[in-house]
Structure 1
Amino acid sequence: MTRRTSAKYKIDRRMGENIWGRPKSPVNRREYGPGQHGQRRRGKMSDFGTQLRAKQKLKGYYGDVPEKQFRRIFAEAERMRGDTGENLIGLLERRLDAVVYRAKFVPTIFAARQFVNHGHVLVNGQRVNIASYRVSEGDVIEVREKSRQLAVLLEAVQLAERDVPDYVEADHSKMTARFVRTPSLGDVPYAAIMEPHLVVEFYAKN
């Protein structure tokens, strides 16, 4: 098992939720936490614990974004007009790896990061290999022609467990996608409940 795969499953176990809705998630078999004390009954979580958990879950969902990078995204969301939590979700969904994942070019967000880093993706005809690259509304994302027969790509397109959301227009026959608009929290097809308002509270106090 690769480090990325094990990390993905560790996040699910740590959160006690199948946050990506994957059928192979270990939480589907064992709802308790990892380790020898995982089956102990959990006590009531403090406000800090609840807020921290919400932050860790959101970070984990997008491929375990490093804390420094995540805090920087949050600071930008805070500077924008409107609701900070909604702004945060919008910025996270504009990451190139997130758009590649949403377009169903790859099966997982971890695979999306690797796919972008390995240079398989073009944005408006230009090769981009930075997973955190921020796309704009109207940008066209496509898989390089040389990469269109990769097994990971062909597997992802056939996945029945999730659909392409309406803020991304994907054409799997041409392996292209267009980022139509920045979504709000209610538009994003999370498999688990995300609570960005708790992330805002966490950073407000810490």
Structure 2
Amino acid sequence: MSKRIRSKYKINRRLGVNLWGRPKSPVNTREYGPGQHGRRRSKPTDYGTQLMAKQKLKGYYGNISEKQFRKYYAEAVRRKGDTSENLIGILESRLDAVVYRMKFVPTVFSSRQFVNHGHVRVNGQRVNIPSFMVKEGDVVEIKTGSEVIPMVIEALNSAEREIPDYMDVDVKKGKGTFVRIPKLEDVPYPVQMEPNLVIEFYSR
């Protein structure tokens, strides 16, 4: 087992949830925390509950730094409308999140790497920045030649996830349109996300 997979599983066990809904997650059979004997889960404080909500949402999107996540919070506050909904919309607009949602790759971690290595085009232009913000109507596609990568073929043919309705994807062409910025209720999270608690955490 690779170090990357072990660390993802450790995140699942620390948070006590199957964060990405993977069938092989150890949380499915072992609900206790990481370590030889696990850790008892005491009743969390308000701060602890807010922190856990932040760790779940931040961890779900892979390797987002705390500094960057805090910037997304600041941008969500700046925008009009519900701040927690704005935060979800920003996170789901990241190019690596869009590539993952379109099922071009099997995991959020592989999505970041896939974009970094230049396998993705946005509106015909190569983009290798995972945090690139995709806009409504943008067309995202796999670069010609990259569609034969085994990881891509596996992801596109997998029945593990469905493509949400805020994406319009042609699986055969490896091409999709980011139709609209989703609301929390539109996003197919495998676990309950509470962005309102994340907002409370940062606004303390």
Is the TM value for this pair above 0.5? yes
Say which SS state the counterpart of residue 168 (structure 2) adopts: strand
2:31 is aligned with what amino acid? E
Distance in 2 between residues matched to 1:188 and 1:13, nearest whole Å = 23
Residue ranges of structure 2 left out of the alignment (5+ in a row): none
Q: Structure 1 residue 44: deviation in Å?
A: 0.8
1:29 is aligned with what amino acid? T
1:170 aligns with 2:169: yes
1:53 matched to which residue of 2? 52
1:2 is aligned with what amino acid? S
Once the two structures are superposed, residues 118-159 of structure 1 have per-residue CA deviations (whole angstroms, 9 ceiling, x without a partner) of 100000000000000000000000001110100000010121
1:97 is aligned with what amino acid? D
Say which SS state the counterpart of residue 49 (structure 2) adopts: helix
1:100 is aligned with what amino acid? V
2:17 matched to which residue of 1? 17
Aligned residues: CA RMSD = 1.0
Distance in 2 between residues matched to 1:36 and 1:44, nearest whole Å = 22
Q: Say if 1:41 and 1:6 are closer, same or farther in 2 by CA, change over 3 A.
A: closer
1:159 matched to which residue of 2? 158
Q: Structure 1 residue 64: deviation in Å?
A: 3.4
Residue range with higher mean Cα deviation, 68-77 or 28-37: 28-37
Say which SS state the counterpart of residue 88 (structure 2) adopts: helix
1:113 aligns with 2:95: no
The total of aligned residue pairs comes to 204
- TM-score, with structure 2 as normaliser: 0.97
Distance in 1 between residues matched to 2:184 and 2:76, nearest whole Å = 14
Distance in 2 between residues matched to 1:78 and 1:27, nearest whole Å = 34
2:95 matched to which residue of 1? 96
1:134 aligns with 2:114: no
Once the two structures are superposed, residues 20-77 of structure 1 have per-residue CA deviations (whole angstroms, 9 ceiling, x without a partner) of 1110111112111101341x43211000010001001001000031100000111000
Q: Kindly, what percent of the aligned residue pairs are identical?
A: 65
- TM-score, with structure 1 as normaliser: 0.96
Distance in 2 between residues matched to 1:132 and 1:109, nearest whole Å = 12
2:83 matched to which residue of 1? 84
1:2 matched to which residue of 2? 2
Once the two structures are superposed, residues 148-189 of structure 1 have per-residue CA deviations (whole angstroms, 9 ceiling, x without a partner) of 100000010121121000001111110001000000000000
Distance in 2 between residues matched to 1:7 and 1:149, nearest whole Å = 28
Residue ranges of structure 1 left out of the alignment (5+ in a row): none
